[in-house]
Amino acid sequence: MRLVGSSQNLSALDGWHGNLQLAYARQAESTQLIHEQVQAPLKVQRPFYPEGPEVCHSAILHTAGGIVGGDRLSLQAELQPNAHALLTTVAATKIYRSNGLEATQTVQLDVAPGACLEWLPLETIVFNQAIYRQDIRVELAPGGLWMGWEMIRFGRSARGERFLDGNWRSHTEVWQQGTPLWIDRQWVPGSEAVFHSPHGLGGCPIVGSFAFVGRSVDPNLIEKARHLWQGRSGEIGATRLMSGLLCRYRGSSTIEARQWLIAVWHLVRTHYLHRTACIPRLWQLESRYSHESYPPN
């Protein structure tokens, strides 16, 4: 796990320079958070174990309430052999209108042999005129597993706001011993044309992705993931990766995006981890706050 040097202060011009470093280890029959280093505005809550000692759930908190232009956030998480951790966020992430500077978040995830990391943050809301870039790199050892998702709402659509000005980029890479297993680069420049283009947002304010990497996936599992979508109104896709599964959503409902991605997550968890999806209590609290509901475990 990479370490950073001395603390950096908040500057009105530069924004927050936050850092969070976590390390997990398997000790006897339990996964323990053995190292944490925090720098505001990032924090991690006390680990909890809603499904027993083998899986450590951790929630990341952004104490400033949202990300603004000039913010530079860095997160690193290391899983030692046979550890299993689920990382999520306390609330939806808000990317505010920029002051002209780009906000960035860099995530480095290292997963050792036999370890499993579930990277499942809550929804990100990208305000109109936001400028933001996120880079996620996963170093996945042979025998390790990684699954992750992101759900993005472009514009505060409940207020009638659309993402017509600004810039959003998300780059995710999963590597294994110098070989790329999955590279995903997304770019949404705010404009009327991109918002309505069938090759852009297609008039839909919400997109979502779920990826599972580390095992060969049977075509039957792909069909099951697609079948879970029946009866909903948005657009979805599911396909095999070189060593995993990728699902996409584009539509207008956070509820249906969450429900489908949670259902796919449950499917993958049951098949490969022999565990049902254990929905963190934080998601349920966030759901009540936003008048949304999740399917039961």
Q: What is the pLDDT of residues 3-22, one digit of tens each?
A: 333 333 334 456 889 999 99
SS3 128: coil
Look-up: residue for tokens 């505060």?
A: 156
Flag residues of the chain having pLDDT under 50. 1-12, 287-297
Look-up: residue for tokens 């039957």?
A: 220
247 burial class (0-12, 13-18, 19+ CB within 10 angstroms)? buried
Residue 230, pLDDT score: 81
Q: What is the pLDDT of residues 202-229, one digit of tens each?
A: 999 999 999 999 999 999 999 999 999 9
Look up residue 159 and give its DSSP letter: G
Residue 289, pLDDT score: 38
> For the chain, what is the radius of gyration of the CA atoms?
18
What's the rounded Cα separation, in Å, for the pair 138 and 21? 15
Residue 286, pLDDT score: 52
Write the DSSP assignment of 56-74 as a string of letters.
EEEEEEETTSSB-TT-EEE
Q: What is the amino acid identity at position 244?
A: G
Look-up: residue for tokens 């950096």?
A: 8
